[in-house]
Amino acid sequence: MSVVFQRFPDPDTELEFVRSERIARATPIRALTVIAIATLISYMMLNPLHFPREGVVAYSEAAIVFIVLLAGLFFATRTSFYVEKGWIDLPIFILMFAAMAWLTFSLAGQAAVTRFPSFAMALVQMGILVVFASLAFAGTVRLFFLWSAGVLALFAAWLFALDAPSISKIYALTNFGTFFLFALYFNWELDRRARSVFTANAELTAERKKTEELLYNVLPQEVAARLKAGEAVADAFSDVTVIFADVVGFSNLARKLSPGHLVKLLNAFFSAADRCAERYGVEKVKTIGDAYLAVVGGMASCGNGAQCAIAFSRDLIGELAGLGAESGILLQVRIGIHSGPVVGGVIGSSRLAYDYWGDTMNIASRLQGAAPPNGIAVSEATFYQVKDVQDFAAPEPVVLKGIGEMLVYIARVAGGEEE
């Protein structure tokens, strides 16, 4: 960004800044126009007490034109045109300068009454205009420098054309030059600070967006919104299908492979599971060691329940067969599926995740242990939901640790032992 004539390198960023700055300064600009109009009207009411009729008329004519311009600026700041077109500041203040010059000349004609030399009157009036313009040129520092330099040049030319003592002219120009420099610095500093705030806000917005994206990666969007609102997140689901997939013989693989190779293989498994989950609207809950836990019908998954779970499981087994062919390492899974009620929610204050609890989760985990390598074991509750789309071997009663005896159905899957 340029140090003197400050601009952002990106044109779109510069345009967005100018828009925001003009919107931000619109209210103080309107406040100053109201003050200026009130001041002019008060002088118009006061002048008849002191000025002759021709002086009152001359001042009033110039003041009315100035008031019209100020009112125009007041209403212009409420338009989108003013916000979008920063260049409009230049013609507005060229007209303002002309109106102020007219007003100054009308007052100079009353020097005998006011006892103010014409150059002193011009110094005060133009100084006021330059200070007002230093605020009103919003996000357009270059245009303000151009306009104010033109005002200084015209003032100096007019001043030295006057029939007045040289010392008076020098002091008048020096004082106006001080107004000029203060106004330049004020406008530049306002712009610099505004750009710093704009940059900080843009960075803050970008960081907030990253944080929200990260939050949405680990939590459903609805849950994230509830947490941000300060709500406690706890939900009951009456019919959720839980999928528990575990790598077969992972301990043996861990002994044979280097840590780096093992992690790479595990990452390939989880990535394949993520792809399958996205494909079938399955909600990944978490990974537990070498196991992958997912649900269907929960907070952020499809409503097709057990059928999606079966499709996910068959696809995952197929993907792992392809991975095994590429890596030369036999990679198999056991998958357990059970359908039933669960409770979902977010607990804790760090590493937040939407988790699920209940017997349904435990049963799916135990069913996984009853499945053959590259096999899918489902409960009776799940079987009745998918029996029309999936073939199963005859059910067998199996004692599940911590659960008791229940019928287990083994799906006939290509590549599995129960094919």
DSSP calls for 296-314: ESSTTS-S-THHHHHHHHH
- Same domain as 251, residue 197: no
Give the domain CATH number at 297.
3.30.70.1230
Tell me what pLDDT residue 419 has. 46
Tell me what pLDDT residue 250 has. 86
Beta bridge partners of residue 379, listed in sequence order: 408
In a domain, 400, yes or no: yes
- Same domain as 262, residue 147: no
In a domain, 216, yes or no: no
- Same domain as 72, residue 139: yes
As a whole number of angstroms, the distance between CA 324 and CA 268 comes to 10
- Same domain as 246, residue 156: no
- Same domain as 43, residue 132: yes
Tell me what pLDDT residue 256 has. 86
- Same domain as 198, residue 55: yes
- Same domain as 259, residue 165: no
- Same domain as 139, residue 70: yes
Torsion from C-alpha of 163, 165, 169, 172, nearest 10 degrees: -110
Distances (CA, A) of 292 to 86, 385, 387: 57, 22, 24
Beta bridge partners of residue 336, listed in sequence order: 244, 377
Domain hosting 349: range is 233-410
Tell me what pLDDT residue 210 has. 84
Fill in the amino acid letter for 259: P
In a domain, 63, yes or no: yes
- Same domain as 170, residue 237: no
Tell me what pLDDT residue 66 has. 94
- Same domain as 202, residue 239: no
End-of-domain residue from the set 180, 211, 242: 211
In a domain, 390, yes or no: yes
In a domain, 134, yes or no: yes
- Residue 336's SS3 state is strand
Structural domains counted in the chain: 2
In a domain, 392, yes or no: yes
Q: What is the mean pLDDT of each run of 10 residues along the chain (419 residues)?
A: 70 91 94 94 90 90 94 94 94 94 87 79 88 92 93 90 84 88 92 92 89 74 78 87 92 86 90 93 91 88 81 92 82 93 84 86 94 94 92 91 91 65
In a domain, 220, yes or no: no
CA angle centred on 196, ends 207 and 132, rounded to 5°: 140
Q: Which two tokens stand for residue 165?
A: 């003592």
In a domain, 67, yes or no: yes
- Same domain as 130, residue 18: yes
pTM attached to this predicted model: 0.61
- Same domain as 185, residue 130: yes
As a whole number of angstroms, the distance between CA 349 and CA 67 comes to 60
Tell me what pLDDT residue 112 has. 79
Tell me what pLDDT residue 4 has. 62
Tell me what pLDDT residue 1 has. 47
